[in-house]
């Protein structure tokens, strides 16, 4: 918890002045502490969309949006995507340091021992309509985990918190894969603990009992990289949702279900599905100028999906790795001259050359190329956001644990700038 100010700011309101402590982070801009402002000055601050508000202190992830830098516990994302793998990054996010070989082996064993779902949960899945979006199924199933795993819902018990973290990370691929299998009318495939985390997910999504299924190691590496690139992203909308839900003392499964619900929106995790659908709608490179013109038109609600980011104002470092991965996967699968990839590359080029996008600092984000890889692997667009949700689970869980470990954490309760009617007397219906 930040408690030693490095500077002081002075705020003047009418003829009164107020001293506000400033804290200096290890990286990033200084932070003005306004926690006592209302008590001292009787005013609220106003920041819809939280563009200038630090909602918590954290040691997990750092983003420098101007430099296009993303660090997990200090390690750059491009190094982690290149040299590490998802479960090692999970360990790093959860515990703060890269694991030793023994620690990693123990952690991997623990996660693989939790991959199965309570058998009764199958009936829960079967209650959904077959045409339900897998995200809708995931929100419901993850929320319902508190009804199946009572022994890891007591947030005051460290051991239960730990078990809940492991269960969520381990079971999320099974939940996402089963949501998919259910939607296509195929039998649920049980997890295989002899496979890696990513290979097991591909196996649960694509194998059928009728024939053997071989997971290509290059595809499982690409899958693992997609998981790694989405693992955490500091206080984004879904993570803040998890923290806000948790601030009331809600159980971990309810909090993560809230995060999944928030992630689904097209301005957040739903952008990967929306982006691929947009690229398909554009269809051919000759149509690109028409769509760029629409994106620039103030009277048209259309936006270039997979473009722009609240924090990154230079480039999204995850998008760079993702673009490279897209090339590798299409190459491996022998998909030459993929028309959607051609549209994506040309759209990126034309948008980056257009002053509208450069002046507003709009660049491709992580979701611009991920859909192309996922589609090439055989996933329908409806599975893109569930894959994001399973990857981000470790980030949500790490932030949730960090929040609960902070002795000063309190319920999140923002205030408002009220612009409604002042007090007035009730009018009887016959007099309205």
Residues in touch with ligand ACO (CB under 6 A): 267-269, 271, 295, 303-310, 360, 362, 365-367
The one-character DSSP state at 29 is -
**Nearer to ligand ACO by C-beta: 144 or 383?**
383
- Output the six-digit token pair for 51: 């563009």
Question: How many Cβ atoms sit within 10 Å of the Cβ of residue 185?
Answer: 7
CB of 360 to ligand ACO, least distance (A): 4
Give the Cα-Cα-Cα angle 260, 265, 268 (nearest 5 degrees).
85
Long-range contacts of the stretch 145-148 (C-beta < 8 A, 24+): 145/171, 145/253, 146/251, 146/252, 146/253, 146/254, 148/117, 148/118, 148/120, 148/121
Quick check: is 309 catalytic? Answer: yes
The residue annotated as part of the active site, out of 309, 316, 327, 425, is: 309
CB of 361 to ligand ACO, least distance (A): 8
d(CA 351, CA 365): 13
Give Rg (Cα) of the chain: 23
d(CA 373, CA 325): 7
CB of 370 to ligand ACO, least distance (A): 9
CB of 12 to ligand ACO, least distance (A): 30
**Nearer to ligand ACO by C-beta: 308 or 317?**
308
Quick check: is 154 catalytic? Answer: no
Question: How many Cβ atoms sit within 10 Å of the Cβ of residue 196?
Answer: 20
The answer to whether the CB of 89 falls within 8 A of the CB of 228 is yes
The answer to whether the CB of 99 falls within 8 A of the CB of 88 is yes
CB of 72 to ligand ACO, least distance (A): 15
**Nearer to ligand ACO by C-beta: 108 or 367?**
367
Backbone phi and psi for residue 156, each to the nearest 5 degrees, phi listed first: -85, -5
HEC string of 300-320?
CCCCCCCECCCCCCCCCHHHH
**Nearer to ligand ACO by C-beta: 71 or 215?**
71
CB of 6 to ligand ACO, least distance (A): 29
Return all residues near 54 (Cβ < 8 A) that are at least 6 apart.
31, 235
**Nearer to ligand ACO by C-beta: 7 or 360?**
360
**Nearer to ligand ACO by C-beta: 159 or 287?**
287
By residue count, the chain amounts to 432
CB of 390 to ligand ACO, least distance (A): 14
**Nearer to ligand ACO by C-beta: 206 or 388?**
388
The answer to whether the CB of 371 falls within 8 A of the CB of 273 is yes
The residue annotated as part of the active site, out of 203, 367, 409, 425, is: 367
Q: 87-113 b/e with 16+ CB inside 10 Å = b?
A: bbbbbbbbeeeebeeeeeeebbeebbe
d(CA 208, CA 228): 27
d(CA 376, CA 390): 19
Q: Which residues are catalytic?
A: 309, 367
């Amino acid at each position: 918890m930040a408690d030693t100010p490095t500077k002081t700011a002075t705020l003047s309101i009418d003829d009164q002045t107020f001293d506000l402590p400033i804290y200096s982070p290890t990286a990033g801009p200084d932070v003005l502490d306004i926690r006592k402002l209302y008590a001292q000055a009787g005013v609220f601050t106003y920041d819809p969309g939280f563009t200038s508000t630090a909602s918590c202190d954290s040691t997990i992830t750092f983003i420098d949006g101007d430099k296009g830098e993303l660090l997990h516990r200090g390690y750059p994302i491009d190094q982690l995507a290149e040299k590490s793998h998802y479960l090692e990054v999970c360990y790093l996010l959860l515990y703060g340091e890269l694991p030793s070989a023994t620690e990693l082996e123990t952690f991997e064993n623990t996660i693989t021992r939790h991959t199965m779902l309570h058998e009764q949960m199958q009936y829960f899945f079967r209650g959904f309509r077959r045409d339900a979006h897998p995200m809708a199924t995931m929100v419901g199933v993850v929320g319902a985990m508190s009804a199946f795993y009572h022994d890891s819902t007591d947030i005051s018990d460290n051991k239960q918190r730990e078990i809940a973290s492991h269960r969520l990370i381990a079971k999320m691929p099974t939940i996402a894969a089963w949501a998919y299998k259910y939607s296509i009318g195929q039998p649920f495939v049980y997890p295989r603990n002899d496979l890696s985390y990513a290979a097991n997910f591909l196996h649960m999504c694509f194998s059928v009992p009728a024939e053997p299924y071989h997971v290509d190691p290059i595809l499982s590496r690409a899958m693992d990289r997609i998981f790694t690139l989405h693992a955490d992203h500091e206080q984004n909308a879904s993570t803040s949702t998890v923290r806000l839900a948790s601030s009331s003392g809600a159980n971990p499964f309810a909090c993560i279900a809230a995060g999944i619900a928030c992630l689904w929106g097209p301005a957040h995790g739903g952008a990967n599905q929306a982006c691929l659908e947009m690229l398909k709608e554009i269809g051919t490179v000759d149509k690109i100028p028409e769509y760029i013109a629409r994106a620039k038109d103030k009277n048209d609600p259309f936006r270039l999906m997979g473009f722009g980011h609240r924090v990154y104002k230079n480039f999204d470092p995850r998008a760079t790795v993702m673009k490279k991965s897209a090339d590798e996967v299409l190459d491996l699968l022998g998909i030459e001259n993929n028309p959607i990839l051609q549209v994506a590359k040309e759209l990126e080029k034309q948008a980056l050359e257009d002053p509208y996008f450069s002046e507003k600092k709009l660049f491709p984000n992580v979701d611009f190329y991920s859909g192309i890889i996922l589609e090439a692997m055989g996933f329908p667009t409806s599975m893109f956001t569930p894959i994001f949700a399973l990857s981000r689970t470790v980030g949500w869980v790490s932030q949730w644990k960090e929040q609960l470990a902070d002795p000063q954490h309190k319920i999140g309760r923002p205030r408002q700038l009220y612009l409604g009617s002042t007090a007035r007397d009730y009018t009887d219906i016959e007099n309205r």
